[in-house]
Amino acid sequence: MDSRSREPRDLDPRQNRKWSGVLESLFWTVLALGIVLYGSGQHDLVTLLFHDSRVNRAFLWFGLINVVLNILLFTYVYGWLGYVRGLPDPARSGTLAVPAGAVTFVSTFLAFVLALWPVFGVLSLLQVVLVTYGIISALNFIPGIGPLRVGQRTRGDEGNKED
């Protein structure tokens, strides 16, 4: 019997990395979804945010406004600069939207932790970290975005498209 027939087939390492990345993203997304759905055990997290009197409303609204600002900045950098203008790496374009996005991201994070602190205490820090990471991981399941695939298309590639 040939010893080569008993050896496991070698898989392409790139394919292994792709699937391990997909599984990792799926894990974090499902974990975040579980936290949002479980909430406090009595109500899901969204209902709790808007109807529980213990939630700090000032920090909640500040965080929600920052989420909207962050989405607008993200859309500008990756949608407008990346897809419409065709920059290969829009995050390194030198626009002030990138550091502004970093500031809104940090302030959103802190605002949601402070908004949930009266309800969950120290666990609010863990909840916000896991939900944030789950939302970022969920971007991998949106075609053309995950993980921000803008850099793979350049203006020079447009003429080489196969129909």
This prediction has a pTM of 0.74
Low-confidence ranges of the chain (pLDDT < 70): 1-15, 144-163
Q: Which two tokens stand for residue 87?
A: 């920059």
Q: What's the pLDDT score for residue 162? A: 44
Model pLDDT for residues 37-82, shown as the tens digit of each residue: 998 888 889 999 999 999 999 999 999 999 999 999 988 988 888 8
Q: What's the pLDDT score for residue 5? A: 54
| DSSP-assigned letters across all residues of the chain | --GGGGSPPPPPHHHHHHHHHHHHHHHHHHHHHHHHHHTTSSS-HHHHHHH-TTS-HHHHHHHHHHHHHHHHHHIIIIIIIIIIS--S-GGGS--THHHHHHHHHHHHHHHHHHHHHHHHTTHHHHHHHHHHHHHHHHGGGSTTTTTTGGGG--GGGGGG---
Q: What's the pLDDT score for residue 43? A: 87
Q: What's the pLDDT score for residue 17? A: 74
Q: What's the pLDDT score for residue 18? A: 75
